[in-house]
Amino acid sequence: MSDQTPLCVDLDGTLIHSDLLLESFLLLIKSNPLYVLCVPWWLLRGKAHLKAQIANRVTLDGGALPYTESLLQWLRAQKAAGRTLWLCTASDKRLAQAVADHVGLFDGVMASDGQVNLAGGNKASHLVARFGERGFDYCGNHRVDLAIWAHARQAIVVNGDEALLKKAAQLTQVSHTVSPQPAGIKVIAKALRVHQWAKNALIFVPLAAAHKLTEVAALGDSILAFVAFSLCASSVYLLNDMLDLEADRQHHSKCKRPFAAGRLSLLFGLIAAPVLLLLAMGLALLLPLKFFGVLAVYYVATLAYSFGLKKVEMIDVLALAGLYTIRIVAGAAATDIPLSFWLLMFAIFIFLSLAIVKRYAELFVMRQQGKLSAKGRGYQVEDIGLLQSLGASSGYLSVLVLALYLNSPDVAVMYHHPKMAWGLVPIMLYWVSRIWMQTHRGQMHDDPLVYALKDRVSLLTGAAAAVVLWLAV
């Protein structure tokens, strides 16, 4: 005989590895950042009112959430056995219904309605009123659910630790458990994209170009600038990933990012992003004021990219090229080294080429998957041929700028054997050509700079360029 006791399931942190209030809040500020000014006023009328106001202004895709798949499988088995399933959540009823419609397992939904915040004791009272004392089983994941398990016949502990499991067992029988996803330092490091800090090594380029790498004071300033820029970049990465959840969850590789996969709490990101930014700005104040200005411009430009520029075709790659180049500007500002026109022109063209590589690689995968356009981007798959032409041309223009620089009077001043530096031209021609060949074959990492730092041939090419420069000096 099947168990006829109603099975009530929590949503946030239980059915999904996320929080609908935070998900909807991020959707809200992505649609219009000025809404953040309204949040305190809505909250003054209660958390339920806040949730309702946000829910009324956003559209949630129930399919674009990180579900607890092992729990879903168990719920399907319970449903097949004839049990009645209820979705019981503190999230707003509009959002909860969107989730219930997508899952297709629930016989009813109990949720916050703009007046009552259905959490903790309130939820327990509603469940007892509907099903009676010990007349229901409850799936939960948090300490707040202890108030509900105290009235439930059985507890199903989902994504909870050992301490929660023991406390639940003291209140009622624990009939089933679902282990939490592994988390820790590696997950946080991935969210901060520590591996992307390698791109900030561009800060040292002006120092190297001016042959001042051995000057201790200038090198120290560059290192401090590197740390400040890295912290600022991580702050931006966190914010960008939180604002781009839906698009990332539909991407072949970005769906594995900690926030998109639900492996890291959105609350962590909302706290860590401003903290990292404040730390970066604090370090920047130890350097020349113009470095602080460059860092501020980088942050604002990145926000503009995250909130809209990345959706506009060609503007997005120009913005990416600018964000790469601004790291070189920051290095010059931190050390008071005058910026070279030649260096800036070379940087703009080579980084534009690499930015287009990034978009080409994404469209290549889309084409293999049979998709027509990139989610959250302004490109169609049919643009892939044009992007290849534009990207390769930009790469070769950077080599042309390099050749013109090597033929300029500036080189005779900087190098004792300037003719040796001409070896850089064929090296760069080879590297740009190979990068685009790899991209054309679908062998390119989403971020070409990260790819270059891991690619053995690229590293050998860089070593050859360093030898040529050493011989020229």
**Of 77 and 419, more confident:** 77
State the Cα–Cα distance between residues 212 and 340, nearest whole angstrom.
15
- HSE (CB half, 13 Å, CA atoms) of 388? 17
The per-residue pLDDT for 33 is 87
Per-residue DSSP letter, 64: S
pLDDT band at 452 (very low <50, low <70, confident <90, very high): confident
Over residues 135-157, the mean pLDDT reads: 94
Does residue 73 have a pLDDT over 80? yes
Identify the three-state secondary structure at position 443: coil
Over residues 138-163, the mean pLDDT reads: 93
State the Cα–Cα distance between residues 402 and 343, nearest whole angstrom.
8
> Is the Cβ–Cβ distance between 347 and 325 less than 8 Å?
yes
State the Cα–Cα distance between residues 459 and 452, nearest whole angstrom.
7
> Is the Cβ–Cβ distance between 50 and 39 less than 8 Å?
yes
For 181-233, the pLDDT digits (tens) are 777 789 999 999 998 898 899 999 999 888 888 889 999 999 999 999 999 99
Does residue 376 have a pLDDT over 70? no
Strands 7-9 and 173-178, by their bridges, are unpaired
Question: pTM here?
Answer: 0.83
The per-residue pLDDT for 1 is 41
The per-residue pLDDT for 79 is 93
Does residue 421 have a pLDDT over 90? no
The per-residue pLDDT for 14 is 94
H or E element at residue 404? helix 384-406
For 222-239, the pLDDT digits (tens) are 999 999 999 999 999 999
Q: What structural domains does the chain harbor?
A: 7-178 (3.40.50.1000), 185-472 (1.10.600)
Strands 85-92 and 108-112, by their bridges, are parallel
